[in-house]
Structure formats: C-alpha cells, structure tokens
Structure 1
Amino acid sequence: MRLRYRQVTRGQGKIFQRLTVEGKGSALGSLEVRSTTSEGNVVPSSIYRLGEEEFVIVVPVLDLPQCVELFSVSADGGRSLLDSHNVSPGWAKNKSRINTALKNEEAESIRNIDSKNRLNKSEITIDRVCFNAWDNNDIVHISVVSLAPPRHDWGEVPGLVLLDSNGREVQDGIAEPIVLSDRIEERGYYSRRHVTYSVRIARDLWSFVVWVRPRDGEDSFVTIQDFELQAWRDRWHFDTLSADFDEAYPEWFRSHKASRSLLEIQRRTRLAIQPRFSIVVPVFNTPIPFLDDMVGSVLGQSYEDFELLLVNASPDNRELADRIARYVNADRRVRELTLDENLGITLNTNQGILAASGDFVCFLDHDDVIEPDLLFSYAEAVNQRPDTDLLYCDEDKLQEGTLVSPFFKPDWNPDLLCSCNYVTHLLAVRKSVLDELELPGREFDGAQDHNMTFRISELARHVHHVRKVLYHWRIHPGSTAGSPDAKSFTSNAGQLSVQGHLDRCHIPAKAVIRPKFDNIFQLDFELEEEPLVSIVIPSRDESGMLGRCVDSLYRSSYKNFEVVIVENGSREPETFALYDSLAREHERVSVVTYPLQGDEFNFSKLVNFGARRSKGDLILLLNNDTEVVSPGWLTQMVGRCLRDDVGAVGAKLLYPDGTIQHAGVSFHLTFPDHLGQLMPDMSPNYFNLLNFTQDVTAVTGACLLTRRELFDRLGGFDETDFTVAYNDVDYCLRLGELGYHVVYCAESVLTHYESVSRGSDLGGEKAVRHCAERANLLRRWPSYFVEGDPMLSPYIAKDGKYRKLNFLI
C-alpha cells in the first residue's frame, strides 16, 4: 500500500490536500484523520472520498504548523495509524499559489469540496457580528443547519467550540455559547434542524474557527478569516449607524438648511399672527467670539419681531460690557440688563423674564447659535396652531466649527421628559402662561430649562415640536454639551425638576438618578395599594417554557396578580401535569380552555377569551416564552398604566444573549418593526434612547399592560383582520387615535425566548396570512405607511429601528 499526497490548495479559510491510496486492499476499512497543532491542541479535520483510491483531507488555516495523522478504521472499530505528515501555513500558502498560477484543474476541483458534500455534515454560517460598547466585546450569532432522514432523533443540541488562529480554545472575552433558537422542521423527505448560537468574542480577536461537534454524526467546521470578520463588523457598524454618529451629517445639513432665497421669501412674508419673541440670554464672562456668534445668529433672523435681552452678570468684565454696549447702540432690538453680581443662571434668567415684553419668551445660551429661520418657523407654528403655548426644535452640536451629533427629537413625549430633558433647545414659552407661575429659585441651576418645560407643559394647551435642526449647541471645555460632568450639579437639579413635576401631578413616585447615566432619571413608584393585575398567557404545550415563565412571575416585587392560562389545543401529558402543579404551588393560577375548532389558531381570540375570564382592573398580555428579569418590572408598568392619559405600557424584552428583542415598535414604509432589535442591551445608540422610558407608537403584545376599561371599550384585539400578526400594533394605534399615550418602560426587563430568526421561514399558508394581515394594517392605517411614524422625525430613515440618517429627502 502506497500513500501519495498530491495537489494542495486553500479556500474559505481551509487547506485542501489530495490523497491517493494505492493498493489498499479490501481489508483497509474506512479512513479517518486527526490534526494537532505544534502546541499539542487538537483541531478539526475532515476527509472526503473522491473515488476508490482518491481522498481529500481538509484542515483549517492556522498560524501554527499542524501534524495530520491518517488512520485506518476496521469494521469492528479498531484504529491503526497509517501515516502522519506536517502541514505548515507557509508551505500550504505557497503550494496553493503555485497551483493557482498554473491553473491546476485537479487542485481547483478539490477547493471547497466540503460545501459540495453535506451528507452527515452541518452547514455553518455567521448571521451577524454585533458590537457591544459596554464591555468592548462582539456578539456573534452563528447558524448551524443539519439535514437527516424524516423523523430523525436529533438528541441534544450539538456542542460548539471556538478556536483562535493558533488552534487554542478561545477563553478570554468569551462566555459559553448560548442557544438562541433550536427549530426542527419535517419537510417531507427529510428533517431539518436549525440551531442559532450566540457567543461573545474579544474585540481584538481577528480570526477564529467554529467547530461543531454533534453527539452523533460527523464534526463540521468553518474558519472565519480576518477580512471576513472585519467585513461583518463593518456591516454591523453601517447597518446600525445612528444619525448622531454619522460623519456625513455636516454635508447632509448643508443641503437641508434654509437657502438664501427661502430666507428672503420669509422676510417678505407677513403672517396673519405675528407673535413677538423675547430672547433671554444670561451672560457671564462670555468669550467675545462666542458672544459675537450668538448675537449675530439672532440679528440675522428672517423674522424680525423680537427683542434680545442680554442679562449681564459680569459687570467687571469691561471688554464684554463694551461689546454688549456696541450691540445695544447698533440695534434697538438689543437690550442689556446689568446685574450687580452673578446670582446663578436661574435667578439671572428670571431677571430677563421679568423684563420681557414679547408674546413668547425664548431661552438661548450665551455660547450657542441659532439658524436664521428659527423664529420664522416658530411664528409659522403659532399660525398653524394659535393655541400653542410651548415650542422646541431639533438641535445638533457645534464642535470647533463642525456640526455634529444631530438630535431629531420626537414630538411631545412627557414620559421621555421624565427620563431626561430631551426638549432642551430652543425652548419658547407663552409669556401669559409664564406669568401665572412663581419664578423658580437657584436650586434649579443647571436644569432650569428642564424645570421650565415641566411647569409650562402642565398648563399648556398645545406643545409644538418644529421638526428641523435650528439650534447649534456649542461644545467647549466647561459646557454641558461637551461633558455632562462639567456641571455635575445638573443631575441633582434635574432630579429636583422631575420630582416637582411628579408631586404637582400627584404621581406616586420618587425620581432617582439612573446608575451609569448622567442627567438621566427613573421613577420608583410608591403605590398606596396594588390593583389586581390579570396576567393572560395563551399556551399550547411547551410545558418547560410555560413553567419557567409562571415561576418567574412569583419572584416579582408586585404581588397582587392572577395568572390566567389560556389552554389552546395542547396534547402532551406533561402540559396538563404542569397545570395541576402550578395551581398547587402558586396562588391565583387558573387554566381556561379555549373551545378550539379544528386547526384554528387565532391569537386575538385567545387573548380576548382569557381577558373576559379574568378579574383584574388591569390586564397584562404575556407570551409563555418570557421570563422576568427585573423584580420591580410590574410595579413600574402599573405605576404608569394607572395614569389617565396612558393607554398601554410595554417592557424591554431581551433575547437570551442580552441583545434587544423589543424596545418599542416603530413604523416605516413597509411594516412595523421593533426599535433597536439585536442591539446589545444598554447600547448607547442614538443618545441612549433604547434605555429610556418614553412614549412610542406601539408596543408588542408579548408583554402589554392595559386598563380593562379601555380593553373593553375597544373590543380587545381585532379577531377578524388581525388573527395572528399586528393585532397588538392595531390595538395601540386605536388607543393613540383616542389620545392615549403608549409607553415603552425601559426599567421593566424580561427575557424573551423568541427565535432571532422568527418570520424568516414563513412559507405557504402562513406567508399568505401574514401578507393579508399586513395589507389589512395598510388599509386601516395608511397614514403611517405614507407619512411614517409620528414619534420619529422624517429625517430619520424610514427603516427607522436604528434611527439612521435619512438621505432620501
């Protein structure tokens, strides 16, 4: 018997070597290979038969030499070593280059042969690589698809190992692989298993080998090379690049700002209502270039009915006083109020308010600038809605002459305002409303605008958001725009502002500063009594999943709830045994059986059926594949749902690997989608909004809390047009139509074990039904598909779940 190693080539991170076994005889049996690095680590390897005497050995491309051993395996399982030889990375690379240069057809024929021989092998692919900014690691989602004869006994999930480029098992920066989904499908003549894993890898890992080791069957492996991994990282970066980090923004803004011709038209336009604006600017040792820029941006307004009140709290600064005097003498609209001493920004501002003569008082920082069409845009808004009492606009930051970090704000969002001061600039309030208030004290220094927004909004008839970037917030040492730590007192003042709002509105909660965030707040509710919450869970088999869900509910700090399980065609004995067990172990657990008709599955009917058989004043719709993470989740949701202006509250849902499954629902041109889906939890994407409680257009029915009176008033979920999909979205839109807020509660966190690839495998009747229900949503709510999500700016891309900059307008 003679062994001949022949052509060598490389492809897709693997080395392929042709082997001829001459005169082996029938007693040789089958062949196996084993590869070991020069450090002694076993790495994956495979052998494929080409013919009676022709084979191909496959090993991964590594940075270290490998010793490849060839074994003969007899019918009784005995193994004997036939040969061993070394494969070095440099040798394999040179051999492959020579064969490629010579256009060696035999070498080309064995390249990637493993992709052509999938019998008993798994297909391994990378789905995505996500960057986790909090721990500087990447999250890698890996799909493993295996085929087998029908009704195959698949057994346990295959083991998955990652090796670095030296063949060592990856340890640093990686957690144990997490199984995100495991789906088995019978497709007539074959069975298919699709497992999705999630692993964390260190950011400095540049190539790795994925090695899948099933209980039975053959091992499979792929090598992810440095250029492939970089491509995945780049793809994630650009797919999720939110507007505030987009380096193309300065050019984008230049094409979207008001043109000279438009400004001239505005100057000549005489509006039916011509409000007068008093712009109050507290000045304290302002650098002259900053003052010049600020004053110049005000005097350059296309709308000219305003006064500029410069409240100078630095009388000893002669250069500054002279420059202000020059502006006062040059333009009658500029007035100076000189203070004997610096009283702090709140009290200084109060002096400007008392001196203001306009219909609206605007608050401008002494080092910032505004666009020339800001006041015209505000006056135009007042003409559109004469009952407007508070206005604000979008903004960005001015850093060393470059515009960066645009903030395209949502329309009026009171729950977000309790999380952070998202309104900030340029705040304009009606003077007649302001006159009704007692002016605040210096305890609000650093958050005086946050406090003012709360006070005016509590009395305002209408709050208007001008959807344009009209304010440039300068970044420089000492500014809060450049560093929230520059004025650390702002967090305490902001907390005081939020608490004052809660107290005045009789909301039973304490405002606390969120850990890890500057100037961000959460509400800790202190309910005098807990109303009964009916938790309605539709369920069919999957007893292990349901048991985990229900058990986790009883770890909640909120205790006054009942669990109503809607039984829907279960067949497994374990399910009914679980029902009995849950009723024995926990209080207030009941099972109601839906009268199933044939193979019908109508999720809306199940929800409505369970709700009608529950007792609580509040109804929580919950999927059986969820698990409570934060013990205070239900208290947070109930506290908000009890408000008269709130119709529904949803939670933050995470996949098992900590990436986001749901952080509110947004609309774009094709269908609703989950905000931030697949972003790592606590992602800073777009001003950290994924982590802040706020009002949204809709929330998922996988965890949705609503008041019974509203659920009954709307007739629950629509059982005709939305049997499975979009029933939750439709319900939230109907609430919004009645004027109720829908709240995404970021502090209420649950794990959702829904597959990350859910929906991608829709086919046949399911796909037809899904398309029909999407069409029903389009027919009923066409404005959302045409105009987009009202809670997202038109300058956010229409596939807005990552809040990317819209380059199509």
Structure 2
Amino acid sequence: MLFPLRVIRRIHREGFRCIPEAIRFRIALHRQRPFLQTETALRQAEEDGYQAFIRRHEAPLSAPFTPTMRLSFLIPTYNTPPELLRALADSLLHQSCGAWEACFYDGASTRADTRELLQTLTQEDNRFRVTFGAENRGIAGNTNAALTMATGKFVALCDHDDLLAPDAVRCILEAAQDGADFVYTDEDKVSADGTHFFEPHLKPDFAPDSLRSGNYICHITAASRALMNAVGGLRPGFDGSQDHDLALRLSENATKITHIPRILYHWRMLDTSFSHQKAQTCANAAARAVADQLRRLHMDADVTVEELRVRIRWKTRQMRIVCVLWGEGDAPKLPMPCIRVRDLSAVNDLVRRTDCDAVLFLRAGLRPLDTDWVSELMQYTQRADVGCVGSALLDDRDCFRHAGYAVDVPGGAVSHQAGQWRYGRPYMLTDRIVRNVTGVSSALLMIRRDVFLSVGGFSPYQSDLRGADLGLKCQQIGLLNVYTPYARMAMDMRLSLLPPCLTQGAPKGDLRRFRQTWGEHPPERYYSPLFRPDGSMFIDLDRQEGTP
C-alpha cells in the first residue's frame, strides 16, 4: 500500500496535474538505471575518500599571521549536553590563532551539568565568558544577548553543539583585516558522535539571487561588530530561518563581502535539529525574510514557497523582444518577432539594426518544457542589475547539457551539473533554484539590447565559449548573470548527439582567444575551486594542498 499512498498524497498536495510528470519520471527511471548506478558509485567514492580529504584540508596554514583584532563567537546555550559543549570548547582551544573569545549566553538552562560545565570553562580560560540569563529568550534573543557581551571588533555566530576547524579564527580575521565587514566560509556536516564528516557544502562567492533562493551562506557567518549592531542582530519572528534573514540584511549593508573557500565549520547532525522537524515552517520564514528584503530594496515581486523552496516572481513590464533563431532544426512557436540566421557570426550588426528592448538567442532544435518560459527569462532580463539570463538544456536522456557555465577549468568553460540526470540528486539543488552563474549558453540566452551592444556583443568564437565570454563581459561591468530552472529546454535527437557539455571540443583557436582575453584563471565566482573541473560538482578528492 506504500506506493499508492504516496501517489494519493502527491495528488492531494499538487493536484492531478502531477500525474503526467510522475509517469515521465517512472519511464526515465527505468531508462537511467545504469546512469544511477554510476552516480551512486561516484557518491560512495566521494564519501569514502572524504575523511582523508578533510584531514588534509584542515591542516593549519604555515605562513605567519599577526592578528590586530579579536573575534567574538556568539553562542546561545540552553540545556546543551555537556559532551557536545565540551567538544565545541575544545575546538576553540585548538585554534591556530588565539585572538578569540567565546560569549556564551545561557537561556536559563534547567540542566545542572550544562550550567556546571559553563562555569568550569570560565575557570579554565578567561576567553570563555558566560552570562546566565533569567529566562530563555529563544535563539534570536539569546544570540543578541551574547552580542552585548562581545568585545571583539568582529563577531561570528556559532551553534552550541557544532565544531570549528583549527584555522577558522585565523581565516576570518585575515579577511577582516583585509577590509571585509561580512565574511562567510564553507562547511560540512558531522555525525552526532563527532567522528564522521560528510556532505561538504562548497559555496559560491556572494550571489544575491542564489541567497534569495535559499540560505547558502549558513555557517560560519561573521561580521564586524559595528555592522552586526547596525542591522540589529537576529530578528525574532523568523524562527528556523533567522540566519537567512540576518544574511540578507548584512549583505544589504556590508561594504565588502568575502567568501573563504575553506571548510571551517562542522555542523553536527542531531535528531532534534530544528530544521529537520519544521521544514515547512523554515521555508515560510525564509519566504517572509526574502519578501521583507525586496520591500526594503523597493523591488516589486511576489514571493512564494514551492516544494520547500523560495520562488520569486518579478513583476514584469512591457518589453519589445526580438528572437534570433540560429542553426538548423525545428523551432517552437514564438510569441515575438523572429529573425532566422544560419549562425551567429554576423549577429552583432543584426542586433545593432534591430529596434527592440531585449534579444532572445535561441538555437533551433530546442523544445520548451515550461509553459511560461519567455516570461521567466524576461522577468530577470528587465532588472537593471542583470546581464545574461538562461536556463537548463536537457538531452534526449534527460541529462543536463547546460545549467550555467563555470570558467577557470581546463576546457575554458564547463556546465554546472554536466551530464547529470535531471531526476538525480543535484548538488544542493543547484539545477532547481534560481542562482547566479558566470555565463549561460548562447543556445538559450536573453539579454537587453543596450547591454549586449555596450559590451561589444558576441566575440568571434565558433563554439559556445561565446556564451561564457559574454557572461564574463557582463560581469566585468558589474552585472549579474542568472540561471533560472523555470525556462528549461529539451534538445532534439540531433543536438543530443553533441558532446555532453556544449563547450567541449572547442576549436584550439577559441581556447587560445579565451585564454588571451581572460588569462589562465578567469574570474570564477560561483564554482568552488574544490570541485572537480568536469562540472559534475563532486569534490576533487585528489587535491593535495590545504587551501584552494
């Protein structure tokens, strides 16, 4: 009865419209069993090798460092099991840089052993500072009370049962002394007994659209004490997503945001974790936090929760769009004027002569999978802070050929999730959320005409490196490039025969031009240097050095 019950629950939740999708999934699942076996093997290999990787990665830096400020950890406690609190304290005592203090605010714990250990810590080291509150103010209230205790110029949030990597303090203070006033790091998870590390979260540099889709920043969040006080610390009323709300407000007010691409925090997985028990509550709180930010920034949009993910629908204005349909093959029915060309070699002059607000570049042989795909692309294109907008391209096996480009890889550019199955387990749901990327494919790309012309249009590439190059040029003038999962395209059989990534096999002249323009290491903000360079978004376990 288990399968029928699942079907009934899904129909009750989503309506009968879910049935065709469920049927397609079952058919695809049967076709993709060999692929799933390969993916499972890769995930198992990553898990098996990760313990050795994290030990190498955590090796303290050898270069000398002299701190000029103190980092205050804000740690709310309430009936914390003493063994977990002791483990956190030990990870602080083993820091490679001693310029820290731990500000514990205890919310009237009823466990005597918790209170006794807190008292003991203050006697062991005067950097442990404890205030026993008369009442439990909740996570937000207790953290804000800890903020009032802080004396450091920089402060960091820390849960009472997690662990810090040995270089956490040093790396954060290095960034702070370099002028950052908002800093965050990579993280992973640790088993309840503290012995097994898993699920590394390798984050992008600051990406506002990605942050609105979900709190990728999470741990460690650190900021100058002045900035933390200026935004008011944590706000009550966002339980379960209070860190997300804080990250949004810090990002609005920070002058320099720095991402440290090192795994410096271990999030302990306990059965009592709030986010596991109240997922819907967390998602609703996140949506309220995002809607609140958009109101503060006077950005007009509707914010909803769909499948526990935040979705933004920007209010659109009328735009005159012209489609440049290129290549050979069938074309979908298009709700705008269309100009058909064989290739994109002379398209810059064509756009210059066209009277429109935005241009949609669409490769023939693609079929829309989403009804409102044009509107989805347009609502991001119209934003003044956005350059290129694109979406997923799927082959006839439902595998990703494109989901946003990363650069600084051997082939010049590679797609996120390259070759991964649509129904698989994507890394951090990257294929299912709106996020910022370095570039998008010229096979499906919308851009405002004035932006396209201001950056010089497409450079003369014969391969899809033209899309990555255009994204980098937009990024260079301060614009964001956006991947949306709501304008997906399916490739016809002919296009599905192309290499797994559309930039794969680019002519040597294209690669040479790309390197001459952007150097050996182009500015990649959204694909971690700790990932494998093939776009699969599995961690590179062969990496030997301790830093990216």
Q: TM-score, normalised by structure 2?
A: 0.87
How far is 1:747 from its partner? 2.3
Shift in alpha-carbon separation, 1:326–1:740, aligned structure 2, 3 A: same
Q: Any conservation in 1 of the 2:396–2:496 contact (CA below 8 Å)?
A: no
Aligned ranges 1:311-350 → 2 under 5 Å: 311-350=105-144
Work out which of the residue numbers 319, 329, 344 in structure 2 matches 1:603: 344
How far is 1:175 from its partner? 7.0
Instruction: Specify the alignment match of 1:629 in structure 2.
Output: 369
Instruction: Specify the alignment match of 2:478 in structure 1.
Output: 739
Cα separation, 2, equivalents of 1:740 and 1:321: 51
Aligned ranges 1:293-692 → 2 under 5 Å: 293-383=87-177, 385-386=178-179, 388-399=180-191, 400=193, 401-480=195-274, 484-486=276-278, 488-515=280-307, 518=308, 520-527=309-316, 529-538=317-326, 542=329, 545-546=330-331, 549=332, 551=333, 553-554=334-335, 562-568=336-342, 602-605=343-346, 607-667=347-407, 668-692=409-433
Work out which of the residue numbers 464, 467, 478 in structure 2 matches 1:728: 467
Q: Any conservation in 2 of the 1:278–1:357 contact (CA below 8 Å)?
A: yes
- Pick the structure with greater CA Rg: 1
Cα separation, 2, equivalents of 1:394 and 1:638: 33
How far is 1:656 from its partner? 4.0
Cα separation, 2, equivalents of 1:505 and 1:705: 24
Secondary structure of the equivalent of 1:748?
coil
Shift in alpha-carbon separation, 1:673–1:250, aligned structure 2, 3 A: same
Secondary structure of the equivalent of 1:246?
helix
Instruction: Specify the alignment match of 2:54 in structure 1.
Output: 253
Q: Any conservation in 2 of the 1:478–1:487 contact (CA below 8 Å)?
A: no
1:415-453 Cα offsets, whole Å, 9 max, x none, are: 111111110001001121222224553211211111111
Q: Any conservation in 2 of the 1:280–1:364 contact (CA below 8 Å)?
A: yes
Which amino acid is 2:118 matched to?
I
Shift in alpha-carbon separation, 1:806–1:505, aligned structure 2, 3 A: farther
Secondary structure of the equivalent of 1:566?
strand
1:694-742 Cα offsets, whole Å, 9 max, x none, are: 11111101111112221111221123xx145422221111112222221
Asked if residue 750 in structure 1 is aligned to residue 489 in structure 2, the reply is: yes
Which amino acid is 1:771 matched to?
K
Cα separation, 2, equivalents of 1:402 and 1:735: 42
How far is 1:307 from its partner? 1.9
How far is 1:281 from its partner? 0.6
Q: Any conservation in 2 of the 1:241–1:802 contact (CA below 8 Å)?
A: no
1:587-631 Cα offsets, whole Å, 9 max, x none, are: xxxxxxxxxxxxxxx5231x3244234322222211122222222
How far is 1:390 from its partner? 0.7
Q: Any conservation in 2 of the 1:603–1:724 contact (CA below 8 Å)?
A: no
How far is 1:677 from its partner? 3.0
Instruction: Specify the alignment match of 2:456 in structure 1.
Output: 715
Q: Any conservation in 1 of the 2:25–2:423 contact (CA below 8 Å)?
A: no
Which amino acid is 2:412 matched to?
F
**Greater strand proportion:** 1
State the identity as a percent.
25
Instruction: Specify the alignment match of 2:11 in structure 1.
Output: none
How far is 1:488 from its partner? 4.5
Aligned ranges 1:774-793 → 2 under 5 Å: 774-784=511-521, 789-793=524-528
Instruction: Specify the alignment match of 2:78 in structure 1.
Output: 284
Asked if residue 796 in structure 1 is aligned to residue 531 in structure 2, the reply is: yes
Which amino acid is 1:334 matched to?
F
Shift in alpha-carbon separation, 1:435–1:233, aligned structure 2, 3 A: closer
Asked if residue 770 in structure 1 is aligned to residue 507 in structure 2, the reply is: yes
Work out which of the residue numbers 52, 66, 84 in structure 2 matches 1:270: 66
Cα separation, 1, equivalents of 2:80 and 2:519: 51
1:268-292 Cα offsets, whole Å, 9 max, x none, are: x424xx1221110110111111111
Q: Any conservation in 1 of the 2:370–2:487 contact (CA below 8 Å)?
A: yes
Secondary structure of the equivalent of 2:88?
helix
Q: Any conservation in 1 of the 2:187–2:200 contact (CA below 8 Å)?
A: yes
Residues matched between the structures, number: 519
Cα separation, 1, equivalents of 2:39 and 2:246: 40
Shift in alpha-carbon separation, 1:621–1:418, aligned structure 2, 3 A: same
Gaps of 5+ in 2: 1-5, 8-21
Secondary structure of the equivalent of 2:181?
strand
Which amino acid is 2:300 matched to?
P
Which amino acid is 2:488 matched to?
V
Shift in alpha-carbon separation, 1:619–1:270, aligned structure 2, 3 A: same
Cα separation, 1, equivalents of 2:281 and 2:361: 41
Q: Any conservation in 1 of the 2:184–2:258 contact (CA below 8 Å)?
A: yes
Q: Any conservation in 2 of the 1:794–1:806 contact (CA below 8 Å)?
A: no
Cα separation, 1, equivalents of 2:147 and 2:167: 23
**Greater helix proportion:** 2
Shift in alpha-carbon separation, 1:791–1:783, aligned structure 2, 3 A: farther
Cα separation, 2, equivalents of 1:233 and 1:439: 44
Gaps of 5+ in 1: 1-133, 136-172, 178-197, 206-228, 555-561, 569-601
Between stretches 694-703 and 354-363, larger displacement belongs to: 354-363
Which amino acid is 1:664 matched to?
G
Cα separation, 2, equivalents of 1:532 and 1:611: 13
Cα separation, 1, equivalents of 2:380 and 2:340: 26
Cα separation, 2, equivalents of 1:174 and 1:451: 38
Secondary structure of the equivalent of 1:647?
strand
Secondary structure of the equivalent of 1:349?
helix
